[in-house]
Amino acid sequence: MTTITTRYGELTPQTTATELRRKDIEPITYHANGQVKSIPLETQTPIVTPAGAIPAELVSFHENGTINRIFPLNGKLSGYWTQEDEESLAAPVRLLTPLGKREARVISVSFYDNEAIRSITLWPGETIPVSTASGFIQARIGISFTRDGVIESLEPAAPSTIQTLAGEITAFDPDAVGVNGDANSLVFDEDGNVIRVTTTLSKLKAVHPNGTISHFVPGTRESLCSESEEEIVPMVVSIGKQTITIQTTATAPARKLPLDQHLFFTEPYLPQLANSLERMHCSI
């Protein structure tokens, strides 16, 4: 076996494949400048990073040679090797993060090209406590950070009351997809203010000085299980310096309301409360 020299040491690329878990021998890829882009490893190898030593079966790099993303496991899912089989091999990883020391089972850890940690992607069911300006929030799926180590976004593991310029909104996205933790439904600016929140449990009322009142609630869509059923669609509220933008469904046009021309009020959206914690059972 040959090895590849990186600033993180000698790494041995994958040269064998197992019948069930790693069926194919994945290729090494390169950036246009000749720098290695990704290396599937023959065996799980610890990579020493500023966030700690992270076990890796797949590593990707930035063009300057620094780590881009580390995957502790790199099995191929199939009818013979399921997500549950792969997850059973996942061991907790100790990380030094902008939140402090944390230990969790991770699908991947991503870094900026200056080696600052960019995001953490968690296995389903795994959560990490996060201290925010809105209080402690248990995060699932993922957490992302700015280059300066400020929390950029997270995915709430349970409905969480968040104070915004539009009022208190219960943040929760029951249909969040855990592809990676780079982008999540609850987003902050560098001062810790909420600038985007997704909800199925709050409704919003905007009152214009001329007496016009606009109501916004999470939308619904036809269930994929039955034409006679409907399921909730999360509403996204984006808070800018001058406007609040509300999108009740992914396909509906967004409404932009000037902050200086409206008073905003929020209330619980009770029709959805009974089924609020469940993932959309017919979602794709």
Domain boundaries, the chain: 1-126, 161-284
pTM (global) more than 0.95: no
The residues pairing with 202 across neighbouring beta strands, listed in sequence order, are: 268
Rounded CA-CA distance 230/91 in Å is 39
The residues pairing with 6 across neighbouring beta strands, listed in sequence order, are: 9
Output the pLDDT for position 280.
46
**Helix intervals (H) in the chain:** 83-87
Within 10 angstroms of residue 83's Cβ, the number of other Cβ atoms is: 11
Output the pLDDT for position 284.
40
Lookup result for tokens 């539009």 = 166
Residue 235 pLDDT greater than 80, yes or no: yes
Please tell me which residue, 137 or 270, carries the higher pLDDT value.
137
Q: Dihedral, CA atoms, 179, 160, 100, 74, nearest 10 degrees?
A: -20
Q: Are 194 and 162 in contact (CB under 8 A)?
A: yes
Residue 111 vs residues 44, 131, 181, 187, 225: alpha-carbon distances, Å: 19, 21, 12, 19, 40
Mean pLDDT, the chain, integer: 91
- pLDDT by residue (tens digit) across 23-76? 899 999 999 999 999 999 999 999 999 999 999 999 999 999 999 999 999 999
| Backbone phi and psi for residue 268, each to the nearest 5 degrees, phi listed first | -65, 145
Within 10 angstroms of residue 6's Cβ, the number of other Cβ atoms is: 17
Which distant-in-sequence residues (6+ apart) come within 8 Å of 83 by Cβ? 77
Which distant-in-sequence residues (6+ apart) come within 8 Å of 34 by Cβ? none
- Which of 16-20, 32-36, 188-192, 271-275 has the weakest average pLDDT? 271-275
